Copies of this chain bind each other. A is one copy, B any other.
């Protein structure tokens, strides 16, 4: 099986990248593995001659890159997203290694676009960014020195994506359709407003209510029909949101 059409559905999202050279090197790493969709969230400098130089023969990936101003915008239209993170966070989902994560992403390509998200070189992903993604991923590394270069991390994940897509089995008939990013975020907005309207959530003292809600529903990976049921229930309970 040729992996190429499936790999076209994999977005590499670089969030708030500081060094344009890393954007170029990431584009090169992507192209070597057959990936083409690059999305940049508020890059410090792009386009940039340094990025173009480091991209080497992958200038076409840079030329086609989309620049957006939020991770939310980068993930719109995806059905599954994985985020690189070096450390476990409070309330985070169970972490996966790249091999297992890429197999999950490859499976979801049957339903639409998927995304691999990489945070800033120094600060990584914010908790808010991580909360938008379905699966935290950590690259196994030397505990005394786990400082992978951004493009090196992109290279490993793209390599695993290529291998996973090469060995992809066809999806089973009648598989439930995963809810997309937009649908799940719509549900979170709905439940948050319902909680506020009911007095259950005090916006002045939100505690960790919404992160806990996200953690709960992030773990189950909602299907389309389930989002419909949950939102229908919220509406029926008298907290209609439009």
- Taking Cβ atoms with an 8 Å cutoff, the residues of A that contact B are 25, 28-29, 31-34, 56-58, 99, 139-142, 145-149, 151-152, 155-156, 159, 162-163, 166
**Most B C-beta atoms less than 10 A away, residue of A57, A58, A152, A166:** A152
A60 closest partner in B (C-beta): B145
> Is A29 a contact of B152 with CB atoms below 8 Å?
yes
* Bound CA span A156–B29, Å: 11
A37 to B114, CA, bound (A): 38
- List, in ascending order, chain B residues with CB within 8 A of A33's CB: 140-142
Question: In the assembly, how many copies of this chain are there?
Answer: 2
A32 touches B141 (CB 8 A): yes
Q: Which residues of B contact A147 (CB under 8 A)?
A: 28, 32, 56-57
From B142, B159, B162, B163, contact of A32 by CB (8 A): B142
CB < 8 Å: which of B57, B99, B141, B159 contacts A156? B159
Q: In the complex, A123 Cα to B27 Cα: how many Å?
A: 23
